[in-house]
């Protein structure tokens, strides 16, 4: 039997859960059921939300709001046809209910028809004065379509409605950043800060825009204001530390990174940045200490292992360097820079077969830097594979067709491979670019046995006569 109001618990949620544990039936207002269902949906308790809708519709069968919540659950469970059928019924009763259009838009969005969803949301705008949520949904739909200008405008509307809506503020800045319109972001954030001068989030975002533009003094000022607005804002201290590093003020940067550690539990990224600062200060012992703290805090942070690798590589302790670069590669074996570093370490150890393999991995993964081709070819040349060395440089010339280091080095390897015809062609190609022969020494110094030979002198003389 239904209980009178005086017998009911005070709070709808407590009352509802009490009812589920007994055979009693409590009566709720329709608005109470809406609150109950929203509560469970927000906490991801779908089964309890469905119970709330079921009992609510038994007590209030004409409640449009509860039926719309039922649609929301159906969409969540991918029961799109049922949801659309219920929306059709509701729309016949009330064609101007904005929530109906919002739920239809949600269905369209789930089906990846984002343009259709946008059209429905724009219709919904005509039926409500409370358009905040609709503009937020519009912004997300525009993001799905990579229409960052329209998304930005929609999220700006949200910020106009609620200046404390930091989620939308972040989305506005995200759109500016994706469009690489850092100046636009700076203008927008400065305008926002004129109305909200103590908003640490806006100061933080403004500092990041200045950082993108390498305006480090302005960035530092912005992060200072973020800290003034909230002296526990870890993100601002961290970003301020990065700016101070750029300005060469490493001791101050360390202080800011240490502040982040004092406010909250230490993070591997803070330890890593502190270590980098000490490395710049030439304090190898402290750098090593913080790099080891980095990987102790997060053994899966490959950048920590790379930092230790570089420390040992720079101090010429190559055995330890190869041990630690392998740890980085075990975490991220698809990183071409790690393979390149591994190759250079093996070169230093004179492990040329391993260096050859590592360079090949680096190139296969997309590292096409000039020195990669040159060093890889040199390793193969040391192994006595001159034809392979020339072939590697031929690949490199696809990316740097007029680079004289590649061209003159190719001449030498072709000669060593006893391919005089192609070596002659390559030397002529190099001389056409190096008209005044200012870089001919690249060939002469690297291949002295050929550089001053009659073969070379003859080609140079013939080129000088014809040029």
pLDDT digits (tens, 9 = 90+) for 140-150: 999 999 999 99
Q: Report the pLDDT value the prediction gives residue 467, as an integer from 0 to 100.
A: 66
Residue 247, CA distances (Å) to 36, 307, 372, 385 in order: 54, 21, 31, 47
Residue 405, CA distances (Å) to 4, 151, 399, 437, 445 in order: 92, 48, 13, 13, 12
Q: Which two tokens stand for residue 309?
A: 């690798």
Domain ranges of the chain: 9-95, 368-466
> Whose structure tokens read 């209030």?
60
Residue 216, CA distances (Å) to 206, 220, 248, 258, 262 in order: 12, 6, 11, 21, 25
Q: Residue 291 belongs to what H/E stretch? A: helix 284-297
In which residue ranges of the chain is pLDDT below 70? 1-10, 467
What is the pTM assigned to this prediction? 0.79
3-state secondary structure of 334: coil
Asked if CATH classification 1.25.40.10 holds for the domain at 368-466, the reply, yes or no, is yes
- Provide the phi-psi class of 233: left if phi over 0, else alpha when psi is between -120 and 50, else beta: beta
> Whose structure tokens read 């207002």?
29
Q: Report the pLDDT value the prediction gives residue 216, as an integer from 0 to 100.
A: 97
Most distant CA pair in the chain: distance in Å? 113
H helices within 77-131, ranges in order? 80-93, 98-110, 114-125
Q: Report the pLDDT value the prediction gives residue 372, as an integer from 0 to 100.
A: 98
Q: Report the pLDDT value the prediction gives residue 333, as an integer from 0 to 100.
A: 96
Q: Nearest 5°: CA angle at 24, between 22 and 28? A: 115
User: Do the domains 9-95 and 368-466 sit in the same CATH topology, yes or no?
Assistant: yes
CATH of the domain spanning 9-95, picked from 3.40.1130, 3.30.70, 3.30.1150, 1.25.40: 1.25.40
pLDDT digit string, tens, across residues 82-125 = 888 888 888 788 888 888 898 899 899 999 999 999 999 999 99
**Chain center to CA of 121:** 30
Q: Report the pLDDT value the prediction gives residue 29, as an integer from 0 to 100.
A: 86
């Amino acid at each position: 039997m239904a209980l009178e109001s005086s017998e009911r618990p005070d709070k709808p949620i407590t009352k509802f859960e009490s009812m589920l544990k007994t055979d009693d039936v409590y009566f709720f207002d329709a608005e109470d059921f809406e609150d109950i269902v929203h509560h469970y949906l927000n906490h991801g308790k779908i089964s309890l939300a469905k119970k709330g809708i079921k009992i609510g519709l038994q007590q209030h069968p004409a409640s449009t709001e509860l039926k719309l919540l039922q649609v929301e659950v159906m969409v969540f469970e991918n029961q799109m046809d049922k949801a659309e059928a219920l929306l059709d019924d509701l729309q016949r009763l009330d064609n101007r209910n904005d929530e109906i259009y919002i739920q239809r838009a949600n269905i369209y969005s789930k089906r990846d028809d984002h343009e259709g969803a946008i059209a429905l949301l724009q219709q919904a705008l005509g039926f409500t004065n409370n358009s905040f949520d609709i503009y937020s949904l519009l912004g997300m739909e525009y993001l799905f379509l990579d229409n960052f200008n329209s998304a930005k405008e929609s999220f700006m509307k949200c910020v106009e409605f609620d200046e404390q809506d930091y989620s939308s503020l972040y989305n506005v800045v995200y759109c500016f950043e994706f469009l690489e319109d850092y100046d636009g972001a700076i203008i927008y954030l400065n305008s926002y800060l004129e109305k909200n001068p103590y908003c640490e989030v806006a100061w933080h975002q403004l500092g990041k825009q200045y950082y993108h533009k390498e305006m480090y003094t302005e960035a530092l000022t912005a992060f200072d204001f973020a800290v003034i607005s909230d002296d526990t804002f870890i993100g601002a201290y961290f970003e301020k530390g990065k700016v101070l590093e750029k300005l060469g003020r490493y001791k101050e940067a360390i202080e800011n990174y240490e502040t982040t550690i004092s406010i909250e539990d230490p993070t591997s990224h803070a330890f890593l940045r502190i270590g980098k600062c000490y490395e710049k200060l030439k304090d190898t012992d402290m750098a090593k200490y913080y790099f080891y703290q980095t990987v102790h805090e997060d053994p899966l942070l490959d950048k920590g292992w790379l930092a230790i690798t570089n420390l040992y590589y720079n101090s010429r302790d190559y055995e330890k360097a190869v041990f630690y670069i392998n740890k980085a590669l075990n975490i991220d074996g698809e990183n071409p820079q790690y393979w390149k570093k591994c190759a250079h370490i093996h070169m230093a150890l004179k492990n040329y077969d391993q260096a050859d393999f590592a360079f090949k991995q680096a190139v296969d993964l997309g590292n096409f830097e000039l020195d990669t081709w040159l060093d890889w070819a040199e390793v193969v040349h040391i192994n006595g594979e001159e034809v392979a060395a020339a072939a590697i440089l031929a690949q490199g010339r696809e990316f740097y067709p007029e680079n004289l280091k590649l061209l003159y080095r190719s001449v030498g390897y072709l000669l060593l491979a006893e391919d005089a015809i192609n070596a002659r062609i390559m030397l002529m190609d190099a001389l056409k670019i190096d008209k005044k022969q200012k870089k001919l020494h690249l060939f002469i110094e690297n291949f002295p046995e050929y550089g001053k030979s009659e073969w070379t002198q003859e080609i140079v003389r013939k080129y000088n006569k014809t040029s």
